[in-house]
Structure 1
Amino acid sequence: MGWKYVPTDQTGTTGTLVDETQIKLSRSADSAEKEPLSKYRFHLKLWLVFTAQTWILDVGRTVVMLVLPADWFPLSRPGAAEYLHILYNVTTPLLLLGMLERSPRKLPRSAVHLSIIAVVMGTTLHLVADSITRRLLLIGYQLHLTLRENPVMKNLEPSTLIEVFELLFYYDKTLGHLLWYLPLFIVLLLFFSSCFCCGKQEMQKMPTAAWMLLVPNTAYYWYLISEGQTFILFIFTFFAMTATVMHQRRRGMVPDGDGLFMLCSFSAALVLVLVWVMFLWNDSILRRKHPGLIYIPQPRAVFTLHLCQNAQR
């Protein structure tokens, strides 16, 4: 950078030398102060699409798999839950790309391509495993029991077939979930990094539309943590969001409508998960299904254990 001659009168005969860096900084500050508040509006359309897509195609397929009569579709062909899952596999990459477009931190093109490929692979592995699980439920498979404790698996001949199912569920529960949810939380974090504005401009409150979507969005994050067993990814993302808020506050920036919406949704979802765990803390059967340090029962397992068995009685 260099120095610039700035005239101090109309004739230009007198002036001073000013550092160009200081001129640019002052101009950027003036432009930030004059920035219209419409830039920081709540992205209602984006969050409406996110809520509808997750509840209809993600949560909805689980409900359809458990509730819809099995004889509506032949077992040798995809059912209603599988068709919803296929639609989810198509729409999720488009939704993530839409969020990345609004992020100020642009990932390299190769990283974006790899992330989308990973999401498609993860959701596809989950589709195959869910299709087989649905058919296992029809012959007596119980979701609240571990694989080797299921009576259906104990009667397999030859007994080594159970290792084939263990491989299948490894592709689903471990590898598939990692490929699916890791890019998802990274994209949410990158999108959150764009949800800040000057503290003097933005009123620190959520718009009415955000409050209306808070409950379904929070409930979906709870479902994502419990059914998808993504607590570690979720809590690390939440900590990263909190650290981002602290860093931006030192620069005089505060979360805008989208940022407050995401913070409230993550915080409420964490509280909901704690209540869920406390309610099922003494369930010895579910404890055997989740023996690790992190005990978060899956809603489908709770449904088949308590609701289905009570209905049969």
Structure 2
Amino acid sequence: MRGGNTRAGGMRGGTRQSRGMRGGNVEAVLSKPRFHLDLWLRFTVQNWLLDVGRPLVMLVLPTDWFPLNRPGAAEYLHILYNICTPLIQLKMLERSPRTFPRLAVQLGVIAVVMGTSLHLVADSITRRLLLIGYQPHLSLRENPVMKDLKPYVPLFLVLFLFFSGSFSYRRQEEKMPAAAWMLLVPNAAYYWYLITEGQTFILFIFTFFAMIATVMHQRRRGMVPDGNGLFMLYSFSAALFLVAVWVACLWSDGALRKKHPGLIYVPQPRAVYTLHLRQDTYT
């Protein structure tokens, strides 16, 4: 009996020990939230090359290389953007500690593809209008075509879903790695581009407020943003600062005020180039 009790006690002790080891392993895994450098690097590079680079390509490359009956260089970049962006967003959601409904993820990615595809069509039409001498003097908010296109809504939605899963317990709190600080400036500058050129200030500010509300809610549960969450918070904050500086510098421009009427005044970089920089180059 004693031997049996000893064996039983040993089994119980082994079970407790194995459970403790399993708990220790889980705690070890939870205590090391990882900054997804590869994802953020791909996200930043593809945004700058395939999104911001499109209007630059249109300005640099000669128009004779791409006739009207064929896609231009900017359109090829836009096609690559439509392919790369959903793939990166899928990877983001796959690595999130939270598990999202599969249907919601699929619908979100489909919305991104459809929105960017419609945006590709609008840009293609605009390019051909420019080539035949049309001058686009209306802002995106006044353009009847762009009023119906909302390609950035699913983009910010996916970013917010990823942010909502980027939290860890207070005892696991960590600072941003050096690589994240290096990516902060180009990532924030890209958000500035989305806000100003894409006229998405309202969408951006609502997403930012939702992120702040999520942080406050998670703090009550004893959780704080991990490295990925801090990177997104700092990027959005820096982008908001850049937009404030941009608006302050152009606050008294009467011509831009006519192009961007209303309470929210966020001038487009393309409008600044059309009104001032391009005229200076011709004089």
TM-score (norm 1): 0.78
SS in 2 for 1:200: helix
In the other structure, the counterpart of 1:41 is 34
In the other structure, the counterpart of 1:19 is none
In the other structure, the counterpart of 1:197 is 168
In the other structure, the counterpart of 1:303 is 273
SS in 1 for 2:168: strand
In the other structure, the counterpart of 2:66 is 73
CA contact (8 A) 2:82 2:113 kept: yes
CA contact (8 A) 2:97 2:166 kept: no
TM-score (norm 2): 0.86
Residue 67 of structure 1 deviates from its aligned partner by 2.9
Out of 164, 178, 186, the residue aligned to residue 157 of structure 2 is 186
Give aligned-pair identity as a percent.
69
Out of 72, 79, 96, the residue aligned to residue 86 of structure 1 is 79
Residue 100 of structure 1 deviates from its aligned partner by 1.5
The superposition leaves residues 158-209 of structure 1 with CA deviations (integer Å, 9 ceiling, x where unpaired) of xxxxxxxx9xx534x2222x2x211111111111112111211233x21000
Within the alignment, does 1:244 sit opposite 2:214 as a pair? yes
Write out aligned runs for 1:133-212 (5 A).
133-143=126-136, 145-146=137-138, 169-171=143-145, 173-176=146-149, 178=150, 180-203=151-174, 205-212=175-182
CA contact (8 A) 2:108 2:158 kept: no
Task: Give the letter aligned to residue 191 of structure 1.
Answer: F
Within the alignment, does 1:214 sit opposite 2:184 as a pair? yes
SS in 1 for 2:148: helix
Task: Give the letter aligned to residue 248 of structure 1.
Answer: Q
CA contact (8 A) 1:58 1:88 kept: yes
SS in 1 for 2:188: helix
CA contact (8 A) 2:51 2:78 kept: yes
How many matched pairs? 267
Distance 1:10 1:88, change over 3 A: same
Within the alignment, does 1:59 sit opposite 2:52 as a pair? yes
Residue 31 of structure 1 deviates from its aligned partner by 6.3
Distance 1:200 1:104, change over 3 A: closer
- Unaligned residue ranges in structure 1 (runs of 5+): 1-8, 14-25, 148-165
The superposition leaves residues 83-123 of structure 1 with CA deviations (integer Å, 9 ceiling, x where unpaired) of 00011111111111111212344333332222222222211
Residue 11 of structure 1 deviates from its aligned partner by 8.4
Distance 1:36 1:108, change over 3 A: closer
Query: In angstroms, what is the RMSD of aligned CA positions?
Result: 2.4
Distance 1:65 1:257, change over 3 A: same
CA distance in 2, matches of 1:108, 1:211: 32
